[in-house]
């Protein structure tokens, strides 16, 4: 994380704290209704009881007669109450109910924070949620200027909501407190301008860097800020009709801002082409914000719902609108950043059920703990606080393992369990070790991630680079690190497979080159022999041609394989000697002396042909002397050993050098069995020549 990002996040925290710092004093010192706690109509008649201190004392229909000895029928008294509000001290009240005068003294009453919140829960939820969502967006994307404007607008929106739902002061206005209220009202006065400003840069500014002065939307936002500042600076606000600041100015800003949003998403431009889903969400947001800015909130919500209560469909309609209003900050953040954290579908499908189930579980857990504590107090009659606290702690520790298991099960169902994710990724990592190609690596990684998160995650699979997350922002923070580690492991496995494939390809190419040296030499000798037989013995030439065809077929097939069976090699030697017998007058004999079970052992293709050819070339003496060839195979101490020998004349073979053909053979054996393979050619003590080959037996035997 860069220093610039850290600084911006610090500024975002400071802005959020400043917003809550400005809002908190008003929340603690103002109430949703006048001091009396009742709504008074014409003639001093109580129309509705709103809360304490009137609740439980006054009732609708009561007629107020006097306050602190002053008759309420007096015009001056009513004017003073209208201007200054009800007194903060005790209220000595005389009222008439059913023709009977009654007297009551109402003490100074202040609503507790919980009572304030309970009476205006929905508006307060918006006032708090919108800045928090905007702050979260700034925290994730501090590079987006629109996110900062959203935080500014959401903060002023929250201040405006609190001013609407808590208009009546419950404390005496000290000079410092009066200055605070002036500052508060000044910030709220900028709220309509902030809405126009936000809509001008949503989801991206309408102007480019360096060209803002030529854009009408920039000047529209500037004029929106200039108007309230001019009203305050020149004192016009005091002489202006109240409905201008309270209705016309916010209403005009609401219409202009909503029209800007609708116009933005109604057409496509170069570099701007919103999807159908984004257009639908923008329409929903525009309607919700238009209703919100035109006054559907605060003290106007309850009367509308109360009037709609007899008509169920209308009540449901307004409830739905209220829910959309609460969801508007999430939709705005999603349209600004296209971040999965604010994706409505993801929240509805996974986040909301998970939050509800977790909340229900926490409620049950707390109910068990505190219910058990109350039961302990009832059964034992023990009222001492220390014993009740100890009982609650005992129950908390007793039920904690069960709650943790259930919570982990819920998290596992919704793909939010870090341990389940780690287990799935570990299993995927184990599968990578046995993956033999790119498809198996990709399948192991993607299936492991899907098992851990219970949903698919897009992964990029470039040809020559490690895999990476296509959309890292759509992966939960707790899962991003482990998944990146798995992708790194997959990249290493792909590199190993690529190197192995390259080595195997190089080995196959080298083997084909070595085999290519054997085949032309063998074919050249065979064709010479065939030409000789055609002239001297046509019948022998015909037999020779049949055997030669079988041999050539084997050599072609052997050139395509990396290994063959020892038994197939021996069969090839028999065919080869059958062809040689047509050419040589000497009797030729071949015998396999090894264990018959080793005939199925794997050996390099065309392993014996150069050895037989070498014996025929250097071991046969002129005349009718026979040549005996033997092959022995055995397994000794984990090694597979082959010994090919002849009883011919060792002249020309007695050197320790293997010659070109046998050097070729040695290379092929080492390519087949590894660098530890050995090839040794030496004269035999009783005459002839022997070639000994040995290599370690692979796991599973010599197959």
pLDDT in tens, 639-652: 999 999 998 876 54
Sign of CA dihedral 511, 514, 518, 521: positive
Q: Say whether 592 sits in a helix, a strand or coil.
A: strand
375 vs 391: CA distance, rounded Å: 10
C-alpha 433: how far from chain center: 24
**pLDDT number for residue 513:** 60
Torsion 444-446-447-450 (CA) sign = positive
What pLDDT is attached to residue 295? 56
In whole angstroms, give the CA distance from residue 487 to residue 379: 59
Residue ranges, comma separated, of all CATH 2.30.42.10 domains in the chain are 33-106
Quick one: which H or E segment has residue 295?
none
Q: Where in the chain is the domain with CATH 3.30.565.10?
A: 537-696
Q: 26 and 43 in contact (C-beta within 8 Å)?
A: no
- Rounded distance, CA 293 to CA 592, Å? 100
Task: List, for residues 328-350, the tens digit of each pLDDT value.
Answer: 888 888 888 877 667 776 666 56
**Domain 33-106 is classified in which CATH homologous superfamily?**
PDZ domain (2.30.42.10)
For residue 245, give every residue at least 6 positions away whose Cβ sits within 8 Å of its Cβ, in sequence order, or none.
189, 231, 237
Per-residue model confidence (pLDDT) at position 702: 41
Taking the C-alpha atoms of residue 191 and residue 424, their distance in angstroms, rounded to an integer, is: 50
Helix extents (H) in 141-174: 145-165
Strand 639-646 to 627-636 pairing? antiparallel
The CATH classification number of 537-696 equals 3.30.565.10
Q: Taking the model in full, what pTM does it have?
A: 0.58
Low-confidence ranges of the chain (pLDDT < 50): 296-311, 652-658, 700-703
CA distance 670 to 678: 8
Q: How far apart are the first and last CA of the chain?
A: 57
Residues 410 and 415: their CA atoms lie apart, in Å, by 9
């Amino acid at each position: 994380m860069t220093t610039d990002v850290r600084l911006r996040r610090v500024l975002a925290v400071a802005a959020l704290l400043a917003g809550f710092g400005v809002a908190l004093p008003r929340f603690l010192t103002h109430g949703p209704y006048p001091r009396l706690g009742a709504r008074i109509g014409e003639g001093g008649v109580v129309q509705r009881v709103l809360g304490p201190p009137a609740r439980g004392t006054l009732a609708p229909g009561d007629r107020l007669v006097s306050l602190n000895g002053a008759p309420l029928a007096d015009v001056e008294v009513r004017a003073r109450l209208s201007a200054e509000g009800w007194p903060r001290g005790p209220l000595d009240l005389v009222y008439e109910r059913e023709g009977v005068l009654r007297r009551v003294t109402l003490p100074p009453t202040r609503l507790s924070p919980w009572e304030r919140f309970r009476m205006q829960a929905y508006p307060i939820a918006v006032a708090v949620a919108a800045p928090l969502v905007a702050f979260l967006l700034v925290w994730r994307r501090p590079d987006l200027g629109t996110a900062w404007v959203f935080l500014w607008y959401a903060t002023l929106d929250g201040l405006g909501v609190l001013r609407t739902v808590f208009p009546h002061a419950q404390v005496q206005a000290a000079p410092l407190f009066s200055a605070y209220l002036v500052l508060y009202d000044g910030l709220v006065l900028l709220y309509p301008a902030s809405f126009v400003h936000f809509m001008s840069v949503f989801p991206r500014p309408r102007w480019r860097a360096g060209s803002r002065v030529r854009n009408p939307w920039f000047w529209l936002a500037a004029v929106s800020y200039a108007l309230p500042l001019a009203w305050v600076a020149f004192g016009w606000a005091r002489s202006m009709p109240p409905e201008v600041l309270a209705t016309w100015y916010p209403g005009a800003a609401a219409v202009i801002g909503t029209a800007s949003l609708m116009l933005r998403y109604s057409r496509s431009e170069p570099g701007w082409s919103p999807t159908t889903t984004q257009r639908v969400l923008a329409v929903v947001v525009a309607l919700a914000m238009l209703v919100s800015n035109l006054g559907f909130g605060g003290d106007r919500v309850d009367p509308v719902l109360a009037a709609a209560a007899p008509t169920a469909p209308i009540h449901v309609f307004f409830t739905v609108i209220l829910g959309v209003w609460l969801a508007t900050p999430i939709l705005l953040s999603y349209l600004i950043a296209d971040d999965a954290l604010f994706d409505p579908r993801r929240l509805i499908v996974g986040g909301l059920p998970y939050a509800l189930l977790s909340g229900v579980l926490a409620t049950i857990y707390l109910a068990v703990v505190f219910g058990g504590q109350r039961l302990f107090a009832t059964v034992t009659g023990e009222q001492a606080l220390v014993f009740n606290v100890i009982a609650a702690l005992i129950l908390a520790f007793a039920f904690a393992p069960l709650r943790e298991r259930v919570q982990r099960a819920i998290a596992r169902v919704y793909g939010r369990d870090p341990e389940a994710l780690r287990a799935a990724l570990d299993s995927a990592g184990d599968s990578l070790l046995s993956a033999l190609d790119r498809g198996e690596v990709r399948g192991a990684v993607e299936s492991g991630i899907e098992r851990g998160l219970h949903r698919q995650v897009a992964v990029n699979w470039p040809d020559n680079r490690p895999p990476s997350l296509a959309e890292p922002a759509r992966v939960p923070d707790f899962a991003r690190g482990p998944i990146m580690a798995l992708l790194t492991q997959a990249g290493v496995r792909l590199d190993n497979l690529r190197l192995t494939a390259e080595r195997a390809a190089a080995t196959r190419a080298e083997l084909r080159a070595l085999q290519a040296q054997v085949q032309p030499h063998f074919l050249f000798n065979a064709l010479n022999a065939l030409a000789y037989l055609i002239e001297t013995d046509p019948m022998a030439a015909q037999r020779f041609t049949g055997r030669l065809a079988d041999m050539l077929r084997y050599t072609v097939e052997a050139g395509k394989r990396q290994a063959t069976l020892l038994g197939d090699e021996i069969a090839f030697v028999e065919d080869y000697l059958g062809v040689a017998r047509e050419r040589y007058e000497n009797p030729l004999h071949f015998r396999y002396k090894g264990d018959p079970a080793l005939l199925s052992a794997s050996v390099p293709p065309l392993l014996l042909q150069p050895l037989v050819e070498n014996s025929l070339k250097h071991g046969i003496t002129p005349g009718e002397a026979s040549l005996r060839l033997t092959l022995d195979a055995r397994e000794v101490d984990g090694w597979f050993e082959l010994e090919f020998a002849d009883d011919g004349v060792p002249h020309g073979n007695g050197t320790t050098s293997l010659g070109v053909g046998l050097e070729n053979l040695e290379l092929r054996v080492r390519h087949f069995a590894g660098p530890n393979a050995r090839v040794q050619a030496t004269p035999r003590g009783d005459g002839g020549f022997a070639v000994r080959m040995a290599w370690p037996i692979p796991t599973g035997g010599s197959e």
